[in-house]
Structure 1
Amino acid sequence: MAPRSSDPTGLHRVLDDATVLPQAAQRLDTTRTLWPDEVRVRVETLNLDAASYRQLERKHGGGGEAIRAEVLDIVASRGKMQNPETGSGGMLVGVVEEVGPESPLGLAVGDRIATLVSLTLTPLVIEDGLARWDGRGEQVPCDGYAVLFGRSIAAVIPDDLPAALSLSVMDVCGAPALTARVVAGYEAPIVAVIGGGGKSGSLSLAAAWQAGAARTIGVVPHEREAALLREAGLADEVVVADARDPIALRDAVTAAGGPADITVVCVDVPGCEGGAILATADRGTVIFFSMATSFSAAALGAEGVAADVTMLVGNGYVPGHAAYAMELLRTHDGVRRLFEGRLEALA
């Protein structure tokens, strides 16, 4: 039974019989009418998280129509976008169309925003059948509406950057902020970023350097991505290794100046836990910033090799994370080139 009054976590929108938070719910109430502390957003674009989209792409052999149909089915059946296989969703861009009188988010009607909370807990209705999306990319043109709760997070999109670029950055803005915080707690650490050529990885490399890393190592899966990362100038060393091969990853990081004091995992494929642990020095820290991570595999793997490392789950939120990530984009030309290159490839 739903509560009679709204809850800032969105508990009042949960339709399950059990009392669970919206992220864990099987279905959410998507009624347009707002509770006093809610905000309704007219959706322009969904940004599916990388792990979720890659899983759908593999499942359907890259077939765009099948991918689109499954996304529509998930949202229609659950009232939110939450991939049942990966458990992850993404985020959205839209325009605020109504603000409840008790909303604490500081948003106004007409604000163009990006949500900084997951689609896995955001009530969502798609009204155009995703007719403008061919299913062949993570950014999804969409007409519909979404509801934000009292404890949701959203950021107004800056006027000085293209909306698609801002969305790409805000989708992963928790990674560089947490990386910077952890690096600042060490004295000139060696930092390895697994998946350093990707969105969260490139921002994390820039954040590590800015926060005082003595050496940065970017790990990528193939030479083409290595060349792009070297050209961007974001890492002292760039190495090619399969992150799913624990020995190859350990040896590559060690040869590049490791083991790392801090290892940041930003890849969107499963099976990278063991290599990240082996690539990290005793008393070091591993930050898992991928929804493809098996946290049981990480915990048991560290125990199994007697690794004395601290393991952190990047939860996507650090105070001020959106503004920090946008500033990294503005001040690091290499980061911006990588992001713009990814967008051009998807165009």
Structure 2
Amino acid sequence: MTDQTRPSPVGLHRVLEPTGDAITLPQAARRLDARPELWPDEVRVAVETLNLDAASYRQLAEKHTTDGRVDGAAVRAEVLDIVATRGKMQNPVTGSGGMLIGTVDEVGPESTLGLAVGDRVATLVSLSLTPLAITDGLARWDGLSEQVPATGHAILFGRSIAATLPDDLDPHLALMVMDVCGAPALVERVVGEYVAQGLAPTVAVLGGAGKSGSLSLAAARAAGAGRTIGVVPVERERSLLEQSGLADAVVLADARSPLGLAAAVESAGGPADVTVVCVDVPGCEQPAILATAQGGTIIFFSMATNFAAAALGAEGLAADVRMLVGNGYVPGHADTALRLLREAPAVRALFEGRLAAESARAAETAGAGA
């Protein structure tokens, strides 16, 4: 560890590289100390499942795809190498990580997180800043999904965030929801600002059939949006979202196509007053700007977003838009997302369908290896 005599609530005492005057916060650090011994304000969690964020997993899967087939063993090996090398799960290309669920197995005497030994929790801070050690070689993971069964431990700092898993939900379902809970909470806040001014905004969600996208559509409607538009890239997702009824209109468009996206949103009642970017591919910045009305708001939730491209693109297009970075944290965000899941059967059906598909794939893989 560093030569600090007291722990830092933001984890500086766990930073191994860089050190000295060049020391950074844990998210920007090259390497963290993931030893299990606790400082007084820390909490150690026995890991059950990691959930890689979508942008990170997509990058890893595409890197290890040959002839249209993902080499799951190579993906697994790279994740193990990242964790062993960096002391955390932070994709060196995307800079992002994900989150985890597990059981609290030790609480430091000065911890203020309100957790107790035995609590099953989901961490609501990124794996990109969470000290992490894996001890089972990820032997139960086929490398073909974002959810990663794992054994090991993680460390929460004094200023970390974690939520106790609800008793009425499958923990893997809760993990899926909590992984993206910042999105619907911020959408609810932004739409609420419009409603407070007597407006009923048109909200377009790029990637509306995904996890964060479907919750964002539900949040926009619940907060008083006048019209919701779901944008999806393929026919299968359009059919799925139309059947759910979460959006007033569903359009098929490539979110990377400036004119194509703008035309699709306009055909459905746009341009949008609020555009929410929930797709995990780069190149959506300027299309989102063109699809948004002057004076409107764009919320970027994708870790694939190039924020320089967004800022310079708005300038170059003379677009008077407010651009917000979805930082993953809004007070009460976990409760908001879980409430939407419970109150919107269509959202729950989408999440349970995704979870069932992942479980079936895992069972098929296990059967093939038997």
Q: Which category describes the TM-score, using the shorter chain as reference length?
A: over 0.9
Is 1:29 the counterpart of 2:33 in the alignment?
Answer: yes
Match of 2:12 in 1: 11
Q: For 2:317, which of 265, 281, 305 is the aligned residue?
A: 305
Cα deviation, 1:279-329, whole Å, max 9, x if unaligned, reads: 000010000000000000100111111000000000000000001100100
Is 1:42 the counterpart of 2:46 in the alignment?
Answer: yes
AA at the equivalent of 1:258: G
Is 1:172 the counterpart of 2:165 in the alignment?
Answer: no
Match of 2:64 in 1: 60
Query: Aligned partners of 2:161, 2:200: CA distance in 1, in Å?
Result: 33
SS of the counterpart of 2:31? coil
Cα deviation, 1:144-180, whole Å, max 9, x if unaligned, reads: 0000001100000000000110000000000000000
Is 1:72 the counterpart of 2:73 in the alignment?
Answer: no
Query: Aligned partners of 2:48, 2:346: CA distance in 1, in Å?
Result: 28
Match of 2:368 in 1: none
Displacement, 1:4? Answer: 2.1
CA RMSD, aligned part only? Answer: 0.6
Match of 2:335 in 1: 323
Query: Aligned partners of 1:91, 1:13: CA distance in 2, in Å?
Result: 18
Q: For 1:251, which of 263, 285, 291 is the aligned residue?
A: 263
Q: For 2:99, which of 70, 91, 95 is the aligned residue?
A: 91
Displacement, 1:2? Answer: 4.2
Cα deviation, 1:205-241, whole Å, max 9, x if unaligned, reads: 0000000100000000011101111111100000000
Query: Aligned partners of 1:320, 1:90: CA distance in 2, in Å?
Result: 19
* CA shift in 2, pair 1:5/1:274, >3 Å: same
Cα deviation, 1:56-82, whole Å, max 9, x if unaligned, reads: 000000100000000000000000000
Query: Structure 2 stretches of 5 or more lacking a match?
Result: 360-370
Is 1:212 the counterpart of 2:224 in the alignment?
Answer: yes
Query: Aligned partners of 2:3, 2:23: CA distance in 1, in Å?
Result: 9
Displacement, 1:3? Answer: 2.2
SS of the counterpart of 2:269? coil
| Contact 1:29–1:123 (Cα < 8 Å) also in 2 | yes
Is 1:113 the counterpart of 2:121 in the alignment?
Answer: yes
Query: Aligned partners of 1:195, 1:68: CA distance in 2, in Å?
Result: 27
AA at the equivalent of 1:338: L
Q: TM-score, normalization: structure 2? A: 0.93
Displacement, 1:130? Answer: 0.2
SS of the counterpart of 1:85? coil
Query: Aligned partners of 1:223, 1:70: CA distance in 2, in Å?
Result: 33
SS of the counterpart of 1:224? helix
Aligned residues: 347
Is 1:277 the counterpart of 2:289 in the alignment?
Answer: yes
Query: Aligned partners of 1:2, 1:49: CA distance in 2, in Å?
Result: 33
Is 1:128 the counterpart of 2:136 in the alignment?
Answer: yes
Query: Aligned partners of 1:98, 1:246: CA distance in 2, in Å?
Result: 51
| Contact 1:2–1:14 (Cα < 8 Å) also in 2 | no
Query: Aligned partners of 1:161, 1:345: CA distance in 2, in Å?
Result: 17
Query: Aligned partners of 1:302, 1:346: CA distance in 2, in Å?
Result: 38
| Contact 1:122–1:148 (Cα < 8 Å) also in 2 | yes
Match of 2:168 in 1: 160
SS of the counterpart of 1:23? coil
Q: For 2:277, which of 259, 265, 272 is the aligned residue?
A: 265
Query: Aligned partners of 2:236, 2:101: CA distance in 1, in Å?
Result: 31
AA at the equivalent of 2:35: T
Query: Aligned partners of 1:308, 1:211: CA distance in 2, in Å?
Result: 24
Query: Aligned partners of 2:227, 2:209: CA distance in 1, in Å?
Result: 16
Percent of matched pairs sharing the same residue: 72
| Contact 1:229–1:235 (Cα < 8 Å) also in 2 | yes
